[in-house]
């Protein structure tokens, strides 16, 4: 297995550079992955959230890595597919790592590999846990769990949550075939910045991958073919991190806006115009008074600094 992986050069598999095996000392050397693991970006980075387009890119890359393993001349079952084993390059290209539990797939007339149950709780397929029968569709189930993590921003198992919500699949799967209810489980940190159509189709893929009957799950090649077109539906979303830095206390301008917002509803009623139109009218009257008090913030979207308001750009000679 190690020799096979050292001979593999695929854009979505971490390259195994070499290994050392001397007496009781063992070491594997992999290529450097600048962005670390998907687990870190989804669950441990509290200052940033992965944008929708980046999540799709990661899902497609990981799916291609699994498809390559399953379709190899000697098929390989990954067996430990999870967020912490998906590493990211600087441009968020996903690569599978840590093949310590990988097994050669069934050969000849065999339908499965019988093996001791190993892997990570929350990701392993239920039939594998019950019987020890390992197939490529076991990896497909694990992929469905990770895709669900990308959609919801939740861990596969979280004992800090209440009741049914502790197990992500049990909680979220009923919503995956209901586009009108899907928003209830989508990651709130996305703040609605995703294609509803693409999200619904990705949720359907996750639903099919998590089917309780292994033969009813798609192959990883079918998963790739279903997810890849969704990337074209999300081209308008940046493929980098969005970082928002909130001010430590309300700014003078924010206080002015908050005070005047309370008056908008009453003005709309009295004048017979919409609240939005009343707000625009009020902002125009107060712009001269509030502009000088407005703080200058630095924000970053996909690594590009904000250029400020049109007035600020004109003052700077932009």
Helix 196-209 to helix 136-152 angle (10° resolution) is 150
Tell me how far apart the alpha carbons of residues 244 and 217 are, in angstroms, rounded to a whole number. 39
Tell me the sheet residues that pair with 22.
25
> In 3-state terms, what secondary structure has residue 281?
helix
> In 3-state terms, what secondary structure has residue 160?
coil
Residue pair 311/291 in contact (Cβ under 8 Å)? The answer is: yes
Residues serving a catalytic function are 80
Provide DSSP, 196-242.
HHHHHHHHHHHHHHT-SSGGGSPPHHHHHHHHHHHHHTTTTS-SS-E
Tell me how far apart the alpha carbons of residues 288 and 232 are, in angstroms, rounded to a whole number. 43
- Residue for token digits 């998963």? 223
Q: Which tokens is 184 given?
A: 């209830």
Count each helix (H run) and each strand (E run) in the chain, helices first. 11, 13
Neighbours of 306 (CB within 10 A): 12
Closest CA to 188 of 162, 156, 154: 154
Q: Which tokens is 63 given?
A: 């799916």
Q: Which tokens is 129 given?
A: 């846990």
Q: Which tokens is 78 given?
A: 């990954």
């Amino acid at each position: 297995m190690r020799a096979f992986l050292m001979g593999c050069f695929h854009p979505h598999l971490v390259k195994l550079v070499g290994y050392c095996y001397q007496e009781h000392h063992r070491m594997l050397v992999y290529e450097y992955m600048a962005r670390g693991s998907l687990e870190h970006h989804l669950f441990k980075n509290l200052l940033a959230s992965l944008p929708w387009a980046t999540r799709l890119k990661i899902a497609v890359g990981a799916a291609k890595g699994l498809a390559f393993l399953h379709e190899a001349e000697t098929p390989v079952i990954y067996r430990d597919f999870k967020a912490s084993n998906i590493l990211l390059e600087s441009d968020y290209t996903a690569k599978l790592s840590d093949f310590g539990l990988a097994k050669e797939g069934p050969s000849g007339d065999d339908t499965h590999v019988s093996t001791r149950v190993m892997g990570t709780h929350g990701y392993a397929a239920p039939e594998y846990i019950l019987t020890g029968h390992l197939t490529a569709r076991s990896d497909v189930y694990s992929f469905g769990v990770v895709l669900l993590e990308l959609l919801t921003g939740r861990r596969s198992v979280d004992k800090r949550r209440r009741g049914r919500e502790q197990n992500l699949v049990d909680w979220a799967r009923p919503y995956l075939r209901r586009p009108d209810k899907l928003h209830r489980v989508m990651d709130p940190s996305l703040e609605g910045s995703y294609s509803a159509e693409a999200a619904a189709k990705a949720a359907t893929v996750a639903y099919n991958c998590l089917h309780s009957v292994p033969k009813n799950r798609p192959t990883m090649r079918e998963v790739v073919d279903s997810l890849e077109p969704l990337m074209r539906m999300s081209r308008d979303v940046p493929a980098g991190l969005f970082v928002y830095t909130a001010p430590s206390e309300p700014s003078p301008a924010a206080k002015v806006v908050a005070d005047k917002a309370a008056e908008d509803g009453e003005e709309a009623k009295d004048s017979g115009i919409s609240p939005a139109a009343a707000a625009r009218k009020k902002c125009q009257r107060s712009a001269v008074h509030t502009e000088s008090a407005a703080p200058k913030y630095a924000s970053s979207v996909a690594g590009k600094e904000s250029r400020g308001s049109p007035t600020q750009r004109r003052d700077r000679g932009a």
